[in-house]
Structure 1
Amino acid sequence: MFRVSDLPAELPRPDLATEAAVRRSLGRRRPLHDPAAQPVDRLDLLIDALSPEVTALVVLWLGGTRRASRDTRIGYADDLLLWADWARRELGRERFALDLRRGDITMWLTYQQDAGAAASSVSRRLSALSSLYRYAAGWGLPVVSPISDDDHRPKFHRGRRATSARVLDADQVGDLLAAATDVRDALVVGLLYTAALRVSELCGADDTDRQDEGRRTWLVVTRKGGKSVRVPLETTVAELLDAYRATRPAWTGDGAAPLLADATGNRLDRHDVTRLLRRLAKAAGIPRPETVGPHSLRATAITDQKRRGHSAEDLQELSGHADVRTVMVYIDDDGRAERVAALTDDLGRVMAAVPRRLTSP
């Protein structure tokens, strides 16, 4: 077990308050290779996977203000767990330490390519590790990042691509709802779709984040960057939330009860939500149910509203993006070729000036 008091005096030493704050922020998840196990505090999983020195560094790193977003902290923690798991299996490292070499990263990249990992995922995991190395160097620790921009940084197109979240249509979302056998499942689909929520916003919401004003129910969610905003709940979704709260398993943990819980009363995490949606997709007869995930509903909602004529600015407000250009990444542009062809035809008005003798056989 990790204890601050066990660390040599010259190494970074997080205080207990920072450690407790990081523990709360990271929440719980199931171990990587045991999806049937009970959720465990992410920090405890990191403690088991990392050397004590790296654990102390990670607590300070994740507790810093530059990583204030809960979603960012969880993403970095999960990426580190993946790095540690790979180093244990492929390099024989019992505990992960910041002693990787350039050749190790090249080997890791080969492993990722063989596993079919998306370039965006590879880039994100490299960025997480690179950020930790920079943080360690900032403390004056004798570490050198093994990641090379020339050899290791993948180039990928930012926009909709084969690995983007799958976009459904509104009828298929209706099929998911029709396949729901309990209130919670229908509520999860309704919240993700009608409010275009990120799964981190959904899973991070507490019961106390629900607010009623007149005939409208609101939910306070924490966006990327740590900003709290209120999102309106659709009427039926609010009714489902009322019904769910009446039957939700009792909360026995510290602090506010989670808005959504599993059968044992623990907070739902993104893996729980993914399994839930894929189960519903299979029951609904949606082709390739294994490709349906939480982000599918968010991307579907944005795409649906774009096709119904809403402006990019309105979609930005719905999705909570800081940059309106980012909204376009989520839009399924399967009609793009036809629209571009229509533009080309319209521009072709000037071609009427071509003498007919030049175009006649």
Structure 2
Amino acid sequence: MDNLPAPLVFRPDETAVELPPPDPSTEAAVRRTLGNRRPLRAPQSAPSVDRLDLLAAALTPELTALVVLWLGGTRRGSRDTRIAYADDLLLWADWARRELGRERFGLDLRRGDITMWLTGQQDAGAADSSISRRLSTISSLYRYAASWGLPVVSPISVDDHRPRIERGRRATSARVLVADQVMAMLAAASDVRDALVVGLLFTDALRVSGICAANDEDRRDEGRRTWLKVTVKGGKTKLVPLETTVAELLDQYLATRPAWNGPGPAPLIVDAAGNRIDRHDVTRMLRRLARAAGIPRPEKVTPHSLRASAVTDQKRRGLAAEDIQELTIHADVRTVMIYVDDDGRNERVAAITDDLGRVMKAVPTHLRHPT
């Protein structure tokens, strides 16, 4: 990515169209936002690689530069959105290499290619929501290319390719666990890090992206409470309170965590090799704990399951909707909370976290108080 072509020339139908290359500041911002991940099909022990470098290796040079412009746009300002788009593109490029023989992925898909991809996804049991999201990634990229005047037409057909997505809870929604099941997962933990991740996800109803993106410097001690600064949708940050046992586990984990030798601030939580964890690491961890805890259909347990479980738990215990929105840092919280005195927000959320923290008594004693 160090020497992007200038100008970029697209010839999808033998008509040359010039496109200015992304400026270095845009490329640097996108690179920082995307972060690292383990390459597709690499063993679990493989080190993480810069996502933008993975894209550069998988896409044509012209498309790589276009993707930098696309991901650098304000309409895709959310860090989670940019990472999801990048990961989806890596999946598309991997499929095109294996099924179409394309060494590099470009904007040359045909309607029949999409139909073949869709058939393969359905045969593999992919959820309609996942299929829809991956199609949306390609559709958005084609629209962006066309907005620059590039002679491309999206190969996706609404009639042939778009699955019908039911709104509301459905079979493919996040699996909801009861508090006893979360406690069973905690009791099954043999590692401080595993118990810490479960505690963070449940007692603060966090999105997994917030945990994966957190750094050492995001931990704060104020008075008797430990807080964590997490990045939420839209790239904004919020301080969330840590339940007492979760804070203790964090202290224990930081004392034994593998050393960080990479650039920039140290990640709060890393994998066994010392690399920043990603949502795939967390998903595997939770499913391993769910199997050990004897939870039915452990393969359906995801990071979002614990967030949804926390919300369901508090709803059943009579918590007001506006307080649940505060806990989950919902996108509409400002609109809802305009009618609520904001001065007590920290106290309310801390009380919620402490109530959810009742499950933490299931953490094995030797993890909380090692000898």
- TM-score under structure 1 length normalisation: 0.86
2:145 paired residue number: 136
Shift of 1:2: 6.6
- State the alpha-carbon separation in 2 of the partners of residues 88 and 12 from structure 1: 27
* 2:25 paired with 1:21: no
1:3 paired residue number: 3
- State the alpha-carbon separation in 2 of the partners of residues 254 and 18 from structure 1: 19
Unmatched 5+ stretches in structure 1? 325-361
2:192 paired residue number: 183
Shift of 1:6: 6.8
SS in 2 for 1:230: strand
- State the alpha-carbon separation in 1 of the partners of residues 211 and 195 from structure 2: 14
Aligned sequence identity (%): 77
Q: Which moved more, 1:264-273 or 1:150-159?
A: 150-159
CA contact (8 A) 1:7 1:52 kept: no
SS in 1 for 2:245: helix
Shift of 1:118: 1.2
**1:292-351 alpha-carbon deviations (Å, 9 max, x no partner):** 221111111111111111122221111122247xxxxxxxxxxxxxxxxxxxxxxxxxxx
Shift of 1:8: 4.0
- Select 2:253's aligned residue among 203, 226, 244: 244
CA contact (8 A) 1:49 1:94 kept: yes
* 2:204 paired with 1:195: yes
- State the alpha-carbon separation in 2 of the partners of residues 297 and 183 from structure 1: 18
1:45 paired residue number: 54
- State the alpha-carbon separation in 1 of the partners of residues 165 and 43 from structure 2: 31
- State the alpha-carbon separation in 2 of the partners of residues 2 and 142 from structure 1: 27
The 5 Å alignment of 1:1-361 reads: 3-5=3-5, 8=8, 10-36=18-44, 37-323=46-332
Unmatched 5+ stretches in structure 2? 10-17, 334-371
SS in 2 for 1:48: helix
CA contact (8 A) 2:6 2:21 kept: no
Paired letter, 1:35: P
Paired letter, 2:3: R
- State the alpha-carbon separation in 2 of the partners of residues 176 and 76 from structure 1: 31
Shift of 1:35: 3.5
2:336 paired residue number: none
CA contact (8 A) 2:51 2:86 kept: yes
Paired letter, 2:139: S
Which has the higher Rg, Structure 1 or Structure 2?
A: 1
Shift of 1:171: 0.9
- State the alpha-carbon separation in 1 of the partners of residues 110 and 43 from structure 2: 31
Cα distance change of structure 1 residues 263 and 293 upon mapping to structure 2, 3 Å threshold: same
- TM-score under structure 2 length normalisation: 0.83
CA contact (8 A) 1:7 1:53 kept: no
**1:177-212 alpha-carbon deviations (Å, 9 max, x no partner):** 111112111110000000001111110111111112
RMSD of equivalent CA atoms: 1.7
Paired letter, 1:113: Q
- State the alpha-carbon separation in 1 of the partners of residues 203 and 43 from structure 2: 29
Shift of 1:123: 1.1
Paired letter, 1:240: L
Paired letter, 1:51: T
SS in 2 for 1:131: helix
